[in-house]
């Protein structure tokens, strides 16, 4: 198996882990767009809530993305490298927690895939690592928030953009994946790990400290 690429978590604060490759591979149920080992992080508060408010839209319809804790949080470079793709201009959708609203959204999944990377990834940044032939993609960024352009050198911890709800996203979150090439249309996914974080496993009250690993499904993490 390919040696995992070790990254820093691309944010501060606490985030809930979804679609973790610690649970299954392919983590998102597909190898398309280089996402075999991808992972999602959803911003939460200390009570593991993704938003502080609920109403009829939560149960039956859609909600504004601004309601969610993740929306607008800084997204940071997880590695030193060079930006090889920086796409902006895709809208931030209304969010969907309602099962009723999710059904209709999922029916449009195939059409979004046919439209290509921009429809799936939304606003995104791809960074070429300095020390090996791998590329990190950070996806679903907030429209108008990108602070970098193609050709820019970035360092770990530098703000790249803000978390949004663009592309194939049902609520604000950041999707992270590592690939063997810069083009998600043809790249293959590469395993990754994250370093130096605090993890609260699902249903656990006390955190554990992790030097390097992949967070478990349903865990909450924050960088050390």
* Among the listed residues 79, 80, 78, 73, the one whose alpha carbon sits nearest the alpha carbon of residue 12: 73
pLDDT at 132 over 80: no
Phi, psi of 62 (to 5 degrees): -120, 170
What mean pLDDT value characterizes the chain?
Answer: 93
> What is the model's pLDDT at position 105?
67
> What is the model's pLDDT at position 55?
84
* Among the listed residues 178, 211, 175, the one whose alpha carbon sits nearest the alpha carbon of residue 195: 211
Binned at pLDDT 50, 70 and 90, residue 146 comes out as very high
CA distances, 180 to each of 3, 139, 154 (Å): 12, 17, 19
Binned at pLDDT 50, 70 and 90, residue 111 comes out as low
CA angle 122, 14, 134 (to 5 degrees): 50
> What is the model's pLDDT at position 110?
62
Please report the domains of the chain, with CATH numbers, ordered by start residue.
5-223 (2.70.70.10)
Binned at pLDDT 50, 70 and 90, residue 205 comes out as confident
> What is the model's pLDDT at position 140?
98
pTM equals 0.94
**68-103 tens-digit pLDDT:** 999 999 999 999 999 999 999 999 999 998 776 666
Question: Would strands 123-129 and 189-190 be described as parallel, antiparallel, or unpaired?
Answer: unpaired
**149-180 tens-digit pLDDT:** 999 999 999 999 999 999 999 999 999 999 99
> What is the model's pLDDT at position 159?
98
pLDDT at 119 over 70: yes
Which of left, alpha, beta for 15 (phi over 0: left; psi -120 to 50: alpha)? beta
Which comes out higher in pLDDT, residue 210 or 54? 210
> What is the model's pLDDT at position 5?
97
> What is the model's pLDDT at position 214?
98
- In this prediction, residues 8-22 reach a mean pLDDT of 98
> What is the model's pLDDT at position 130?
84
> What is the model's pLDDT at position 116?
73
> What is the model's pLDDT at position 102?
66
């Amino acid at each position: 198996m390919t040696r995992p690429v070790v990254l820093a978590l691309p944010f501060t604060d606490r985030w809930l882990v979804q679609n973790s490759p610690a649970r299954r591979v392919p983590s998102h149920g597909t190898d398309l767009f280089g996402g075999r080992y991808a992972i999602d992080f959803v911003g939460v508060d200390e009570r593991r809530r993704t938003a502080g408010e609920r109403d009829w839209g939560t149960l039956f319809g859609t909600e504004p993305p601004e309601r969610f804790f993740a929306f607008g949080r800084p997204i940071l470079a997880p590695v030193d490298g060079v930006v090889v793709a920086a796409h902006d201009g895709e809208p931030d959708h209304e969010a969907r927690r309602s099962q009723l609203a999710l059904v209709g959204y999922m029916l449009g999944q195939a059409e979004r895939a046919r439209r290509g990377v921009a429809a799936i990834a939304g606003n995104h940044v791809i960074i070429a690592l300095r020390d090996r032939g791998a590329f990190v993609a950070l996806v679903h960024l907030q429209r108008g928030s990108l602070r970098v352009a193609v050709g820019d050198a970035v360092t770990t911890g530098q703000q790249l953009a803000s978390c949004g709800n663009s592309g194939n996203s049902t609520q604000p979150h950041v999707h992270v994946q590592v690939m063997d090439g810069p083009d998600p249309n043809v790249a293959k996914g590469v395993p990754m790990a994250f370093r130096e974080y605090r993890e609260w496993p699902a249903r656990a009250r006390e955190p554990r400290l992790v030097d390097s690993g992949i967070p478990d499904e349903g865990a909450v993490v924050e960088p050390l």
